[in-house]
Amino acid sequence: EWFEKFGIRDTRDWRQLLEIDPAKAKEALQHVVDNREHFPQYDDNWVKDREKELDK
């Protein structure tokens, strides 16, 4: 699902998107937050870490 919408398979892909298109990376992260049942591998700490990266 994440790959189909954003071209992301994992954290590394998300970080690459963050460098290229921060707004889309933020949207992709929000998608994970809004659909947590589809992303059990990403816990609260993972989300907090990505939010910190967005704020840099």
User: 32-56 burial string, b = 16+ CB within 10 Å, else e?
Assistant: beeeeeebeebeeeebeebeeeeee
pLDDT of residue 1: 80
Residue-range definition of the domain harbouring residue 50: 2-54
For the chain, the first-to-last Cα distance in angstroms comes to 27
Q: How many domains is the chain built from?
A: 1
Residue 56 pLDDT exceeds 90: no
What is the per-residue pLDDT across 1-43, written as a single tens digit (0 to 9) for each? 899 999 999 999 999 999 999 999 999 999 999 999 999 999 9
Is this model's pTM higher than 0.75 or not? Answer: yes
Please give, one letter per residue, the 3-state secondary structure of 4-27. HHHCCCCHHHHHHHHHHCHHHHHH
Read off the DSSP letter of residue 53. Answer: H
Residue 47 pLDDT exceeds 90: yes
